[in-house]
């Protein structure tokens, strides 16, 4: 398996509040994206702390992953949440900071992928002719869509589309959504922040991945910037 990843500040932001990690250890891969909460102090600190904590946990606790992947995912999020929350208590500068976090853990030997997420950064599984969103957005507009208040077409244009219903680090504990996918029939895994999905619909993301292959990450980010790039943009593409 091969992983290609990049984070970009975009066209207008003064700092990059996104963070990305991609690690391989023994038969396992950990990849994650995190998007520090816009409008809060030190979002870039929150996303960095969350992923640094996830990386440490991954290296130190592989025994739990092998025995109970769901417990492992839960623990990664609980641990990262605790670090961000406690750092937020240390100074007024960090008060109220938080982040999204979307994680995939891959067992290469078993061809299984385990996902967890909090917030609206997304994970997809991809074949040559299909792209399926694995995660569910924790956002106000998604809740409005599920309850029938707005249509699917209104979701991407709604003025409150950036309002999250869950974030990591704004409270001491958080339980992520958990998903599992068989990789035997999957060509790629994509993780991304909303700086990508706000500009490119899923059919175009699939087109770029099929057309540009190893250059797809660069091309996706460049295209999001050409279409506005008002947010930070982070992409991880893992090829099976």
Q: pLDDT tens digit string along 225-236? A: 999 999 999 999
pTM of the model: 0.93
Number of domains in the chain: 1
Contact 116, 103 (CB under 8 A): yes
Question: How far is Cα 62 from Cα 109, in angstroms, rounded to an integer?
Answer: 14
pLDDT at residue 162 tops 90? no
> Which CATH number characterizes residue 62's domain?
3.60.40.10
pLDDT at residue 153 tops 70? no
Read off the pLDDT band of 96 (50, 70, 90). confident
Structure tokens at 130: 């299909």
**Mean pLDDT score of the chain, rounded to an integer?**
92
pLDDT at residue 39 tops 70? no
Higher pLDDT, 159 or 91: 91
- Boundaries of domain holding 187: 2-239
């Amino acid at each position: 398996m091969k992983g290609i990843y990049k984070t970009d500040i975009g066209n207008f932001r003064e700092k990059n509040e996104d963070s990305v990690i991609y690690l391989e250890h023994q038969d396992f891969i950990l990849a994650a994206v995190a998007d520090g909460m816009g409008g809060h102090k030190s979002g870039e600190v929150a996303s960095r702390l969350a992923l640094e904590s996830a990386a440490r946990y991954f290296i130190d606790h592989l025994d739990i992953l092998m025995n109970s992947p769901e417990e492992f995912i839960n623990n990664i999020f609980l641990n990262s949440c605790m670090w961000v929350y406690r750092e937020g208590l240390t100074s007024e500068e960090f008060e109220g900071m938080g982040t999204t976090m979307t994680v995939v853990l891959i067992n290469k030997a078993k061809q299984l992928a385990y996902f967890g997420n909090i917030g609206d950064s997304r994970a997809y599984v991809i074949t040559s002719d299909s792209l399926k969103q694995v995660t569910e957005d924790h956002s106000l507009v998604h809740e409005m869509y599920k309850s029938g208040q707005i249509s699917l077409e209104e979701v991407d244009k709604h003025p409150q589309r950036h309002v999250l219903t869950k974030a990591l680090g704004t409270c001491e504990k958080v339980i992520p959504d958990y998903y599992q996918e068989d990789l035997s029939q999957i060509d790629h895994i994509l993780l991304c922040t909303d700086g990508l999905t706000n500009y490119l619909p899923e059919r175009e993301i699939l087109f770029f991945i099929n057309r540009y292959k190893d250059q797809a990450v660069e091309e996706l980010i460049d295209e999001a910037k050409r279409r506005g790039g008002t947010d930070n943009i982070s992409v991880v593409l893992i090829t099976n």
